[in-house]
Amino acid sequence: MEKIQINPQTCIKCGHCAEVCPSAILRQDESNKSIFIEDIDTCITCGQCVAICPTNALIHQDFPAETLHQVDRNELPAPDAVELLIKYRRSTRAFSTKPIQREQLMRILEAAHRAPTASNMQKVAFTLVTSPEKIKEITEFTLDTFASALQKLQNPLLKPLLKRIMPDAYRYVPAFKKLLKGYEQGYDGILRGATALIFIHAPKKSRFGPMDTNLAYQNASLMAESLGIGQFYTGFVLAADAQSSADRLSQILGIEGKVFAGMALGVPKYRFPKYMDKKTIVFNEL
């Protein structure tokens, strides 16, 4: 079977499929308006041609009937509701010990998986961590990396050189010291008592891995907010991974790819009764 088939009996030659195809595979003959197919190998399997066809005349082998769903725009949240969801979403750093329901975690992952990817590659993958031992291992890997960095930054022989070549690194010295001391005293300032982590990864060399994974992150964070689940971005863990030589985070997670985004989640201990304005938007118009 051809990858794409057009039923000549039901095609009304509206040309919508040709207009929306990002790869210009579907073309419309200027004289008789029929649709022809060119360079099918460049199809990115986005399904837009199938989704737009008003008569179901276009069949794509990667989108059988059971993968298609009717759109009802009346079901969408109103813009005011979307705006409030965006405004209410905050980073949560105080969690209760109550576990997150599995069904909620799955909805958060599904939301992340729905995000767009460059050329519709869909190479983004997710690792969910709920094991307290693994969470501890990730915190300790992060803190060990920071402890080594601190040692280097404070080495009297290296300090004059490092201050010159990487002055910004010294900004983190107080934070590293506090995190290490806090952990000694029983507080994990890296993962802050999160009961679940979602690491978002992509093949190591993928050109758009950082973009794809971080778009997935934001979908997930909004879904988490709507479910009443708190989350924050695991920047410290990612910073440690960037510093470590041997892809330690990927090793700990047992994955092939590279982690470009990470989320710590938990049931919030408190709810913010207020939200605040952001700095004034920087906005240019041409």
Q: Which does 235 bind (CB under 5 to 8 A by kind): ligand FMN, ligand SF4, none?
A: ligand FMN
CB of 35 to ligand FMN, least distance (A): 44
Decide if residue 235 touches ligand FMN (CB under 6 A): yes
- At residue 102, the 3 state secondary structure works out as helix
Q: Which does 176 bind (CB under 5 to 8 A by kind): ligand FMN, ligand SF4, none?
A: none
Decide if residue 233 touches ligand FMN (CB under 6 A): yes
Cα dihedral angle (63, 64, 67, 70), rounded to 10 degrees?
Answer: 100
Q: Which of 117, 139, 219, 234 forms a contact with ligand FMN (CB under 6 A)? A: 234
On whether the CB atoms of residues 67 and 208 are closer than 8 A, the answer is no
Sign of CA dihedral 250, 252, 253, 255: positive
Strands (E), the chain: 4-6, 26-28, 35-37, 58-60, 125-129, 196-202, 230-233, 258-266
Of the two residues 16 and 258, which places its CB atom closer to ligand SF4 in the complex? 16
Q: Which of 5, 27, 29, 35 forms a contact with ligand SF4 (CB under 6 A)? A: 35
Decide if residue 269 touches ligand FMN (CB under 6 A): no
Sign of CA dihedral 173, 149, 247, 119: positive
Q: Which does 93 bind (CB under 5 to 8 A by kind): ligand SF4, ligand FMN, none?
A: ligand FMN
Q: Read off the tokens for 268.
A: 């919030």
On whether the CB atoms of residues 192 and 138 are closer than 8 A, the answer is no
Mutual angle of helices 132-154 and 173-184, in 10-degree steps: 130
Q: Which of 48, 92, 117, 142 forms a contact with ligand SF4 (CB under 6 A)? A: 48
Q: Which stretch binds ligand SF4 (CB under 6 A): 39-47, 196-204, 210-218, 250-258?
A: 39-47
Of the two residues 46 and 216, which places its CB atom closer to ligand SF4 in the complex? 46
Q: Which stretch binds ligand FMN (CB under 6 A): 60-68, 193-201, 223-231, 233-241?
A: 233-241
Decide if residue 53 touches ligand SF4 (CB under 6 A): yes
Cβ neighbours of residue 208 under 8 Å, at least 6 residues apart?
Answer: 117, 118, 119, 121, 202
Q: How far apart are CA 136 and CA 232, in angstroms?
A: 17
Q: How distant, in Å, are the alpha carbons of 26, 117, 127, 179, 228 from that of 142?
A: 50, 29, 18, 10, 28
Q: Which of 61, 91, 96, 151 forms a contact with ligand FMN (CB under 6 A)? A: 91
Decide if residue 15 touches ligand SF4 (CB under 6 A): yes
Cβ neighbours of residue 151 under 8 Å, at least 6 residues apart?
Answer: none
Q: Which does 90 bind (CB under 5 to 8 A by kind): ligand FMN, ligand SF4, none?
A: ligand FMN
Question: How far is the first Cα of the chain from the last one, in angstroms, to the nearest whole number?
Answer: 49
Q: Which does 46 bind (CB under 5 to 8 A by kind): ligand SF4, ligand FMN, none?
A: ligand SF4
CB of 9 to ligand SF4, least distance (A): 11
Q: Which of 2, 5, 12, 161 forms a contact with ligand SF4 (CB under 6 A)? A: 12
Of the two residues 99 and 235, which places its CB atom closer to ligand FMN in the complex? 235
